[in-house]
Structure formats: C-alpha cells, structure tokens
Amino acid sequence: MLAQCRSRSARRDSRLRRRTWQMESLESRVLLTSDLLISEFMASNSTKLFDEDGESSDWIEIFNSGTSSVNLDGYTLTDNATNTNKWEFPAVELESGGYLSVFASNKDRDDPESELHTNFRLSSGGEYLGLVAPDGTIIQEFSPEYPPQATDVSYGLGTDSVITNLVDVLREVNNRWARGCSRSRLDESLENFPSASLTD
C-alpha cells in the first residue's frame, strides 16, 4: 500500500509540474486616476429597483472614492464609444464616499432635484459603457463591451479584495495529497482553501 501511495504521489507531482497555469482574459476596462467611477450597474432589471414611475429601469451607480465632494456638472455617461457626451449630468454634488444611482431608462431626465435618467438603455447582451470627464477624458469604460448580463444581477467593481498566494495553496494541497493519498481526504482538506480547486 505504501509503494502504491508513493507511486500515485509521484504521478501527481509530475502532473502538477507539467501543468501550465493561465489567467482568464476579461473584457478591457480602463480606469484612469479619478475619484469617480462606475461602481455597479444592472442591465436587466426586472424586480430589484423601481424608478419614480414604478418601472424597473436599468441603472448605473456612480461612486466618489475621493476625500472631497465632486460636482458632476459636465460629466457624461455613454453607451457609445464614438459619442462620449451622450448624456450629461446636471450640477449634482456627490459627497466623499457617496453613491449616486442613475436610471438607464431612455427617459432623459436631468433635474438635480429628482431622479436622474439617461437618454439610453443598457443592453443585457453587452455593450460599451463609459464615464467621461467634462474635458472629454474617459474616466472609466467597459470596452469594447461588458459581458452579457443575467436578469436582476448587478455587475461592478468589488470594493473588498482577498489576496491568496496560489503557490502556497497548491504546495499545501500537494503535501496533503502525498500524506493522505486519498481523494476523499484531499477533498476534505480543500474545504480550508475555498479559492483552490483541483482538477484531473
């Protein structure tokens, strides 16, 4: 049994050394140095957020990550890379650490005392989305387009992050594999490493 265990362990070590690890490519995102960003959006809203008309319009959330408030007058949102000033924000102050929801409803409302609505809708199939500064600088964009969206599921930037050193996780998994020589024991040990997965 011990020889068989060592033999499996040696084969497993050989497969790990030969395996090449790759990162999955996501859509292109440009995020320049700015305090404003599109933190989240929903391109297929059915039941999650309703506008003042009682409709479940798509929405875009803007976040001010800076230490001071920003007047949004002159900033624009667009779903067209060649028309960067498609919908312009009115003079609205966004406090430091504040969020602002804008409905992407095609209703074109820019009264600073009421809900804001763009003059375009978002496509659940994916499309370009950009936030543009008054001088025309693209602050953030999902280009050429964000991925297809599921109904009632928002898409955006994570605010918290966890860093896992995958090399240490794999080393520990390999050590447990060699000691345990049992797939069921390995599966149990992987529960301690939720970001790790082992495939044959």
Residue 48 reports pLDDT greater than 60: yes
pLDDT at 68: 92
In tens, the pLDDT along 164-189 reads: 555 555 566 566 555 554 555 555 55
In the predicted model, what is the mean pLDDT of the chain?
A: 78
What's the fold here for domain 32-156?
A: Immunoglobulin-like (2.60.40)
pLDDT in tens, 4-33: 444 455 555 555 455 444 444 444 444 444
d(CA 134, CA 5): 66
Q: How confident is the model at residue 157 (pLDDT cuts 50, 70, 90)?
A: confident
What is the pTM for the complete model shown?
0.64
Q: E strand or H helix at 174, and its extent? A: helix 166-180
Q: What is the DSSP letter of 25?
A: P
| Per-residue pLDDT tens digits for 141-153 | 999 999 999 999 9
Q: Give the domain ranges of the chain.
A: 2-24+162-190, 32-156
- Give the burial class of 49: count Cβ atoms within 10 A of its Cβ; 0-12 exposed, 13-18 middle, 19 or more buried: middle
Contact 119, 79 (CB under 8 A): no
pLDDT in tens, 112-141: 999 999 999 999 999 999 999 999 999 999
pLDDT of residue 197: 46
Which helix (H) or strand (E) segment holds residue 93: the answer is strand 93-94
Cβ neighbours for 110, distance < 8 A, ≥ 6 positions apart: 87, 88, 89, 90, 116, 117
Model confidence at 35, pLDDT cuts 50, 70, 90, reads: confident
pLDDT of residue 192: 55
